[in-house]
Amino acid sequence: MLSLNRGTFLRKGLGVLRVSLSSSGCGNGGGGGERESRVAMESTLKDARDGAAAVDVDPKLTVSGGVEDVYGEDRATEDQIVTPWATYVASGFSLLRDPHYNKGLAFTEKERDAHYLRGLLPPVVITQQLQEKKMMHIIRQYEVPLQKYMATMDLQRLFYKLLIDNVEELLPVVYTPTVGEACQKYGSIYRRPQGLYISLKEKGKILEQLKNWPERSIQVIVVTDGERILGLGDLGCQGMGIPVGKLALYAALGGVRPSACLPITIDVGTNNEQLLKDEFYIGLRQRRATGKFEDFANHNAFKLLAKYGSTHLTFNDDIQGTASVVLAGLLAALKLLGGTFANQTFLFLGAGEAGTGIAELLALEISKQTKAPLEEARKKIWLVDSKGLIVSSRKDSLKHFKRPWAHEHEPVKDLLDAIKAIKPTVLIGSSGVGKTFTKAVIEAMASFNEKPLILALSNPTSQSECTAQEAYTWSQTNESLSFKHKGRAIFASGSPFDPVEYNGVVNVPGQANNAYIFPGFGLGLVMSGAIRVHDEMLLAASEALAEEVTKENFDKGLIYPPLSNIRKISAHIAANVAAKAYELGDFILYPVFLLHASSMNSVIYLSFPLQLMLLLLLFVIFLSRVATRLPRPENLVKYAESCMYTPNYRSYR
Ligand SMILES: NC(=O)C1=CN([C@@H]2O[C@H](COP(=O)(O)OP(=O)(O)OC[C@H]3O[C@@H](n4cnc5c(N)ncnc54)[C@H](OP(=O)(O)O)[C@@H]3O)[C@@H](O)[C@H]2O)C=CC1
Ligand SMILES: CC(=O)C(=O)O
Ligand SMILES: [Mg+2]
């Protein structure tokens, strides 16, 4: 127990006292496991008055280095250097400002006494539920989505509670599509730091910068270089809204502790002229660095993933998360529609990170289901980029990630002609260009598919290849069509659209957004202590998500489950991902564990070469295993749930 004479502390300002509580348990610390207190007192300056006397300067010097006015307050002028004194005592006023511990009017009478809060708060004590109701009431009063965004970002601990309890309403506010506008205007709406900025200016001092981050037990880092923000292009340093938004979802939807999340933006400049001229722009005012800093460029996403994927626990959400969510939607749709994966023909508009990432996972799934080689499976998948259909005659001029998709075919210039030539059953938009699924495109899809599957993945809403309304109406307006079903297209989009009524039928469009996958996926990695991401884990995540789609959901037109169940869904995804991580190490781990356990007493009697061999074997196991948190929990879903962070207020001593 720590006691402190606050009067003495504040008047003399002898030191900075930090009291931080960190908890552990499930490797995730949210379950209220063992709490550990760390108290560190740093006395950095001598008493200012003593110091002033010793060096014989103005005796009215204040503790912060300025000069006392007649009221004893600091009247430092601009040219005087002062020390920014701060206290981190989790009591009194500082407790009310602490994002981790502040409960506002929900502090109990007892807590108000124990923590010097009397008088700092009005007398009423309210529940967290009432606070939540009040905040939702305030947020709903704003009509402009960006204002809602700013209001939610101002919340502290209550933020996660609101997001968890109102996920369908707030996801479009804190994430796509509003986060796109927030990034575009991030400089104008900037209020307080929400992540770490690593800029070219600080080259060579990155470790110092990382040490400045207040949290120590980081488990998930989301990093961007701001070059490709949704379908909005280069937003430079203002891309920070994306890691902040994604990590909010890791915490709220996936249950990773917020304090274990670190958003990072790498600022190497921007080529966005508008931002460079914007007086409120928060980043380096220079063009994007290339040359030796080329690794930061967006078009190197595949290279970075290939480089670090085999040595670090890395995951590219645009390539892998998107792939997993699309595969899940298609698995669910086919399960309910009937038909096999291998019998589908897929056509993409857009052959970048998202498009080719999805294509590769779909090919893997086809190959897994049919036992055909991957190269064979890829032949069911076609992609169109800005130059037309990707075909073999273009191979030499294609970027490496497009080459596997250069199939034998004559050149085709545009999407509509590609649809007519390929006759896909599934059309996927990943171009970042809005309005590209025209009436003719949708009608063509509907002309040879009874239920065309159409996914318009591009974000934000303005970049969506088509709207839900367009997909539903254009797929059934053509009188010459041989199919006369209502609500013919099965549609999902990256950004949400409202339900659409057409001819008395209400169709609910699903949201094909990686937000379904990455929170649970991240939790699965954390709880199993996985050291690498494998494609099989992405397939496992897709299967878990697809299993959550019910016939009732599908009858409404949904190929994804309602987001209101996302915590439960995330627990299932996490469990499947963790199960795969344990399985991937199993083949060698278990026999050797048995061997090790049964020979424990005799190991010391083994001859040296045998001991060496055993050690070598253990080393191989160490290198090959994926899950490192052992032993494997029996019920992974229950374990995932027990690991999830909950934002409910705790009682304070
Ligand atoms: N719903 C979700 O969860 C996700 C959605 N997305 C969205 O996907 C979109 C694309 O992202 P990403 O793959 O990273 O971007 P990239 O820049 O990597 O790829 C864009 C692709 O679209 C092609 N393209 C651009 N314009 C046209 C056009 N007019 N006609 C045909 N093809 C065109 C490009 O062609 P070329 O190669 O010739 O330049 C390129 O192949 C973004 O809007 C993003 O928001 C991304 C991730 C997740
Ligand atoms: C959702 C997402 O990651 C994107 O649009 O880029
Ligand atoms: Mg993205």
ipTM of the complex: 0.99
The reported pLDDT for the residue numbered 433 is: 97
Say how far apart CA 509 and CA 4 lie, in whole Å. Answer: 58
**Token couple for 425:** 């059953």
Section 349-353 average pLDDT: 96
Report pLDDT for 416.
Answer: 98
Catalytic residue among 246, 380, 402, 580: 246
Q: Quick check: 173 pLDDT over 50?
A: yes
Q: Is the CB of 111 under 6 A from ligand 2?
A: no
> In this structure, which ligand is nearest to the CA of 320?
1
Q: Is 318 annotated as a binding residue?
A: yes
Q: Do 647 and 162 contact (CB within 8 A), yes or no?
A: no
Q: Is residue 18 part of an annotated ligand binding site?
A: no
35 is in an annotated binding site: no
Residue that has been written with the tokens 């490192």 in this structure: 628
pLDDT recorded at residue 622: 64
Q: Is 459 in the pocket of ligand 2 (CB under 6 A)?
A: yes
Q: Given ligand 1 and candidates 224, 416, 431, 560, which is best to mutate, with the most ligand atoms within 8 Å of its CB?
A: 431
Could you report the per-residue pLDDT of 254-280, keeping only the tens digit for each? 999 999 999 999 999 999 999 999 999
Is 228 marked within a binding site? yes
Ligand 1 within 6 A of 353 CB?
Answer: yes
Residue 4 confidence (pLDDT) above 80? no
Say whether pLDDT at 590 is over 50: no
68 marked among binding-site residues: no
Burial of 96 from C-beta contacts in 10 A (0-12 / 13-18 / 19+): middle
* Residue 477, burial from CB neighbour count under 10 angstroms (0-12, 13-18, 19+): middle
Does ligand 1 come within 6 angstroms of the Cβ of 463? yes
Ligand 2 centroid to 634 CA: how many Å?
A: 34
**Dist. CA 327 → ligand 2 center (Å):** 16
Atom number of ligand 1 nearest to Cα 231: 43
Task: State whether the beta carbon of 513 lies less than 6 angstroms from ligand 2.
Answer: yes
201: its two tokens: 């200016």
Separation of CA 230 and ligand 3 centre (Å): 5
Q: What is the DSSP string of 121-187?
A: S-S----HHHHHHHHHHHHHH--SHHHHHHHHHT--HHHHHHHHHTHHHHHHHHSTTHHHHHHHTHH
Span from the CA of 463 to the centroid of ligand 3 (angstroms): 13
Instruction: Say if residue 223's pLDDT is above 60.
Output: yes
For residues 229 and 242, is the Cβ–Cβ distance under 8 A?
yes
Of the listed ranges 32-46, 83-97, 106-120, 605-619, the least confidently predicted one is: 32-46
Residue nearest to atom 6 of ligand 2 (CA): 230
**Catalytic position from the list 101, 175, 197, 250:** 175
- For ligand 2, say whether the CB of 318 is within 6 Å of any of its atoms: yes
Lowest mean pLDDT among 93-102, 379-388, 479-488: 479-488
Q: Please compute the mean of the pLDDT values over residues 30-45 and round it to a whole number.
A: 35
Closest atom of ligand 2 to 513 CA is 1
- C-beta separation of 348 from 384 below 8 A: yes
Q: Output the pLDDT for position 10.
A: 33
| CA dist., res. 313 & res. 332, Å (int) | 29
Lowest mean pLDDT among 48-52, 120-124, 252-256, 534-538: 48-52
Residue 495 C-alpha to ligand 2 middle, in angstroms? 9
Query: How many other C-beta atoms are found inside a 10 Å radius of the C-beta of residue 136?
Result: 16
Supply the residue whose CA is at minimum distance from atom 5 of ligand 2: 230
Please report the pLDDT score of residue 412 as a whole number. Answer: 98
Query: pLDDT tens digit string along 510-521?
Result: 999 999 999 999
Q: What is the mean pLDDT of residues 162-180?
A: 97
Query: Residue with the nearest Cα to atom 14 of ligand 1?
Result: 353
Question: Quick one: pLDDT at residue 586?
Answer: 59
pLDDT score, position 385? 98
Report how far ligand 1's centroid is from the alpha carbon of 431 (Å): 3
Residue 347: what are its φ and ψ, rounded to 5°? -130, 130
Mean of per-residue pLDDT scores for the chain: 85
Q: What is the residue with the minimal CA distance to atom 3 of ligand 2?
A: 318
- CA nearest to 236, candidates 297, 194, 192, 191: 297
Residue bearing the bigger pLDDT, 468 or 45: 468
Q: Is 457 a pocket residue for ligand 1 (Cβ < 6 Å)?
A: yes
- The count of C-alpha atoms lying within 13 angstroms of the C-alpha of 415, restricted to the half-sphere facing its C-beta, is 26
CB 177 within 8 A of CB 460: yes
How far is the centre of ligand 1, averaged over its atoms, from the C-alpha of 305 (Å)?
18
Provide long-range contacts, Cβ within 8 A and 24+ apart, for 57-64.
63/12, 63/13, 64/13
Find out whether the beta carbon of 509 lies less than 6 Å from any atom of ligand 2: no
214 backbone dihedrals φ, ψ, rounded to 5°? -70, -20
Q: Is 246 a catalytic residue?
A: yes
Distance separating alpha carbons of residues 534 and 577, to the nearest angstrom: 10
Residue 477 has pLDDT above 70, yes or no: no
Show the tokens assigned to 403.
């080459």
Protein residues with C-beta less than 5 angstroms from the ion ligand 3: 318
Whose C-alpha lies nearest to ligand 1, atom 30?
386
Q: With a 6 A CB cut-off, is 412 part of the ligand 1 pocket?
A: no
Please report which helix (H) or strand (E) contains residue 347, including its range: strand 346-349
| CB neighbour class for 233 (10 Å; exposed up to 12, middle 13-18, buried from 19) | middle
Cis upstream peptide for 258 (omega within 30°): no
- The response to whether residue 28 sits with its C-beta less than 6 Å from ligand 2 reads no
Residue 459 is labelled as binding a ligand = yes
